[in-house]
Amino acid sequence: MLVIAQQPSPPVVVLDLDGTLVDSVYQHVVAWQAAFHDVGRHVSAMRVHESIGMGGDRLVAHVAGDAAEDAVGDDVRALHDKHFRSVLRSVPPLDGASDLVEALVAHGHPVTVASSSPADLVDDLLDLLDVRRHLTAVVTASDGAASKPAPDLVELAVARAGGGPAVVVGDAVWDALSAEAAGARCIGLRSGGVSAERLLSAGASWVHDGPRDLLQHLDEGPLRSH
């Protein structure tokens, strides 16, 4: 009797959004700096940049300390959203982002988005991309899960896609850390301004320049077709 071995199902792909699909990292940096300035506090762009990708519920304390979080955390977050929205329509998709999503779906991957941003901002950013119809799930900070670098957003995205092995694609060390905590592999992208060395040290196993570069190398890593 001929026995044909079943091929394993393609892993779930969990995509970050800011800096991974849309070129919005530096707009976030400026918006956070402006928000801190509005409440009379100065923070360096470098310190803010290295914190982009973690949840806003964590960022204020990470950047400015627990006392700042206690005193002005909610105000800073609200002001950040206001400043970011003022430039949101100027945020461009990253080169190859839509093509990457379409290629992943064509290869049989359930494709999800997991972002530490609130749902309304995520919806507006996804409107900049023509990919929503390809997504199996979209998970945001508004879903109540702990934000990155906790594994909760990744785990929820994978669960909503039906479970199984997963590969996280993200531009921040927080994506790599959340992937590792969730037991997923991670592909890092330099399109958010983080070096390959930092992404690798945080747990990414592969690093590409951005979505277009990853698309051109899909057959060389964990997303290759079997």
State the Cα–Cα distance between residues 210 and 93, nearest whole angstrom: 11
Domain count, the chain: 2
- Domain span at residue 152? 12-24+92-220
Other residues' Cβ atoms within 10 Å of the Cβ of residue 73: 19
Query: How sure is the predictor about 67, in pLDDT bands with cuts at 50, 70 and 90?
Result: very high
The reply to whether 118 and 150 lie within a common domain is yes
**Position 2 in a domain:** no
Q: Which of 90, 120, 143 is the last residue of a domain?
A: 90
What CATH code is carried by the domain that includes residue 118? 3.40.50.1000
CA dihedral 171, 81, 77, 144 (to 10 degrees): -70
The reply to whether 19 and 34 lie within a common domain is no
Q: Which of 57, 90, 123 is the last residue of a domain?
A: 90
The reply to whether 99 and 210 lie within a common domain is yes
The reply to whether 110 and 194 lie within a common domain is yes
Tokens of 138: 């979209």
pTM: 0.94
Query: How sure is the predictor about 221, in pLDDT bands with cuts at 50, 70 and 90?
Result: confident
State the Cα–Cα distance between residues 57 and 63, nearest whole angstrom: 11
Summarised one tens digit per residue, pLDDT across range 135-192 is 999 999 999 889 999 999 999 999 999 999 999 999 999 999 999 999 999 999 999 9
Please give the angle made by the CA atoms of 36, 59 and 74, to the nearest 5 degrees. Answer: 60
**Position 5 in a domain:** no
Summarised one tens digit per residue, pLDDT across range 93-139 is 999 999 999 999 999 999 999 999 999 999 999 999 989 999 999 99
The reply to whether 182 and 102 lie within a common domain is yes
